[in-house]
Structure 1
């Protein structure tokens, strides 16, 4: 009888754990359908990987530059940092995104949210180009970005001056974004690979202050894998984000996979208490992204890699971060359609 009771208690305990286990549905808030050569594994592969990763919605963007295979290079590079050849602004990336989106069956399109990125952020004609693109496909584009400004070694490979998030050309783009109710994703490194201070923070903060009606998504909170390789953990990042989130209600943070370590999880894989506290304090301002580039096999690993961090949050907050917060910053018309 005692053994029977023990077995029953064990069964009930396991059942309770199973009921309490969380199942997350994700929005991938940072996805590049093509790579730096404007090539893609294709929509069929993307849909398959989304199903495996339990990703319901994706931000669908191109890459605003193309990597050159230089005449003097005997082997085609595999990434923008593969050799010293230049990269160049490539507006046709948006045509590739629009084409892929239009091939989807009507019932699938609600899961995909195209962001327009193919323009030179140093060109004061950029807003006119974006307006023409928006007018050619009314209602198709749901955001702008990822806009490349300070971007590791890529910045030096692109002809011309380093793009700045606070330049005049982009100010014109932000005004257009407000007019069309479009969120803007910015890649703006908070510092360089070696400066242990927020060297470029002012370039990101100025748009937040000067364009309060624009919803800005800061790609991986101004960090990058390249910065992590040289500096590991930026000790000023958390305090900086606390101040910015308090000061600017139009700021949203993309927690891409490259931030899992050394920020969200420690070396043993345990969620960081300070980051948990920050997300709990601003539960509607964080979203998750795989930041995959043209190939999608790692989506499941990247998105589910956030589970231990999400599990340490209150359930309501965790589900907002996993799925809802990205959808909440899309244009009002898109949000209304999703609710129907």
Structure 2
């Protein structure tokens, strides 16, 4: 009798748990349609992967650089870090994105929010490219980025000067972004692989302070997997990010894959209370991104990885982070 009672209670508990399971619909705030060779699986593969992953809406951009297959390299590299050959700035990436989106039927096209990325961030002419693309494709572009500034070894491999988020070329772009109501997705590492302090903090903080009418989405919260390989967890990231969110209401945070661990989740996959508290304190400032590059089969896995963290948040906040916050940062309908 006792065993039957316990069994019934267990079944009832499982049914209640199943009834209370959350069904998230996602917006992907950080997706690259092409890879570092400007190649892609194509729009049918992307749409299929989005449907399987429950992704209703997605930012879509190119990759602002192309990796060179150098004359002296016997094998074509598979990634920008595959060998020591350069990468170079590649503006045609925006045309690939525009062509792919504009071919879609209207209902599918509404799911995508194209961002302009094909700019050299150390060239003061870059703002002219953005203006030209806005004129060539009126009504298409809804943001700028991902702009590559401090970006691990890619910074050293890319031909030309070291890009910074606080240089004059980028200042011109921030002014244009404010005028056109376009958010800017910015990759700006908070430090180098070796320095255990926020070495490059000024490069992201100066634009936040000097351009209060520009909405900034900070890719990966300034972290990267390459930094983690050398110094694992940056203890200064959480307090620094907290202060920036307090001081700059124009800052939004892309919680893509390099933030998931070791920050949002511990080694056992348990959500960290301090990060939960931060998201609850600023419930409209965080969004999720896959950061896939031209290949889309991992979309479902990327977003499922966030489920333990989302489930630990209040349900209304979890849905904001999963879907609504990215859509809210886009240009207002005219």
TM-score range, shorter chain: over 0.9
For each residue in 1:127-164, what CA deviation from the matched residue of structure 2 results, as whole angstroms up to 9, or x when unmatched?
Answer: 11110110111110000000000010111111221011
* Superposition map of 1:35-114 within 5 A: 35-114=35-114
1:147 corresponding residue in structure 2: 147
Alpha-carbon distance in 2 for matches of 1:228, 1:56 = 31
In 2, the alpha carbon distance for the partners of 1:235 and 1:28 equals: 27
In the superposition, the TM-score normalised over structure 2's length comes to 0.97
**Offset at residue 12 of structure 1 (A):** 3.5
Aligned equivalent of 2:272: 272
- Structure 1 gaps of 5+ residues are none
Aligned match of 2:290 = 290
Partner of residue 213, structure 2 = 213
- Give the RMSD, CA atoms, in angstroms: 1.3
Alpha-carbon distance in 2 for matches of 1:174, 1:5: 65
Greater displacement, 43-52 / 1-10:
1-10
CA shift, 1:19, in A, is: 1.6
Task: Give unpaired runs (5+ residues) of structure 2.
Answer: none
- Matched residues in 1 for 2:265 and 2:26: separation? 19
Aligned partner of 1:258 in structure 2 is 258
Equivalent runs, 1:25-44 vs 2, <5 Å: 25-44=25-44
Aligned to 1:179: 179
- Distance change (3 Å), C-alpha of 1:3 and 1:225: closer
For 1:239 and 1:138, how far apart are their aligned partners in 2? Answer: 41
CA deviation map 1:96-130 (0-9, x unaligned): 00011012111111110100000111111111111
Pairwise CA distance, 1:258: 1.6
Distance change (3 Å), C-alpha of 1:3 and 1:64: same
1:243-280 Cα shifts (integer Å, max 9, x gaps): 00000000000000121111010001100111001000
1:117 aligns with 117
Find the counterpart in structure 2 of residue 136 from structure 1: 136
Match of 2:169 in 1: 169
